[in-house]
Amino acid sequence: MDEPIPVTRDVDHGTAKLMPDVDRERAWLLTVDGAPQSYVDLDSPTHLEFEYARRLGHVVDTVAEPGLPLDVLHLGGGALTLPRYVAATRAGSRQDVVEADRGLLALVVEHLPVPDEGIALHGADARAWIEAAAPDSADIVIADVFGGSRVPAHLTSVAYARAAERVLRTEGVYLANLADAAPFAFLRSQLATFAAVFEELALIAEPGVLRGRRFGNAVLVASHGPLDTAALARRTASDAFPARVEHGAALREFIGAARPVRDEDAVPSPEPPDGAFSIG
């Protein structure tokens, strides 16, 4: 059998590279401009290599009875790691994937076959899509959108949060992969923004990130109904890199005096420090 070889292609927003994992036969790492974007094992779609992806998966696992099909809207596609995970763990789910970089979508479809059932791909801007989408049409919205290594400004405001809330059903849950470091101006503002729209919030992150020791990912969870934070805490605590689940009074204290973000004041997430996520 021929050894898989890396694939490099200029896409709409940078240079994408697919690199095979020498330790797993049909597993691939996707980077854009050197920043890791996705990891996919085609033979084991439930394997979530990146810790933030595992945390998103934990939330997906706990929002409904195991195996129950869900309608999921993914903002940001990458190599379709989470859509593949949902298809494998919740057969019969209907999923829409919105990715602004059409060239990246084409690369992924060409080299990493996508499950035929239930996954629809759309080359479009995330905010434009949710503003035009049918109300009450999704059980989960997962936002993992990065322009390079930064969350775009237009996906950080109260108007954006309201658009996402409109798409969700009454018991729906919004998830976002964010990145920040102390003093957490961006992360606090995002929590304040979603607290202005949703009744319940939780934040999942490694203790070292929350203590300000390093730049890193944090998963924001928002809903109107109660979140099973106890189940999330058990799952995240047992990961290879354990995380904490902050909610309630502790999360309100973390938010402090941060204010919700208006469109006119929105800024992208901070630029990661050199070496935070990039690889050779």
Taken in order of first residue, the domains within the chain and their CATH numbers are 48-263 (3.40.50.150)
The pLDDT of residue 275 is above 70: no
> What mean pLDDT is predicted for residues 73-86?
97
**Structure confidence at residue 115 (pLDDT):** 84
At residue 273, the pLDDT reads 85
Per-residue confidence (pLDDT) for residue 94, from 0 to 100: 98
Residues of the chain above pLDDT 90, percent: 90
| Residue 276: band (very low, low, confident or very high) from pLDDT cuts 50, 70, 90 | low
Mean pLDDT of 149-162: 96
Residue range 112-121, pLDDT digits in tens: 999 878 999 9
Range 227-236 average pLDDT: 96
Residue 268, Cβ neighbours under 10 Å: how many?
A: 17
Question: What per-residue confidence (pLDDT) applies to 198?
Answer: 98
Is the predicted pLDDT of residue 265 greater than 70, yes or no? yes
123-128: Cβ within 8 A, 24+ apart = 123/99, 124/98, 124/99, 124/100, 125/98, 125/100, 126/75, 126/76, 126/98, 126/100, 126/155, 127/154, 127/155, 127/160, 127/163
Mean pLDDT score of the chain: 94
Instruction: Give the mean model confidence (pLDDT) for residues 152-171.
Output: 97
Lookup result for tokens 């979603």: 194
pLDDT of residue 167: 98
Lowest-confidence segment of 1-5, 143-147, 236-240, 263-267 by average pLDDT:
1-5
Assign 35 a pLDDT band (cuts: 50, 70, 90). Answer: confident
Mean pLDDT across 84-102: 97
Decide: residue 207, CB within 10 A, 0-12 exposed, 13-18 middle, 19+ buried: exposed
Q: Cα(231)–Cα(166) distance, rounded to whole angstroms?
A: 27
Looking at residues 220-235, what average pLDDT do you find? 96
| Predicted pLDDT of residue 149 | 83
Average pLDDT over residues 83-107: 97
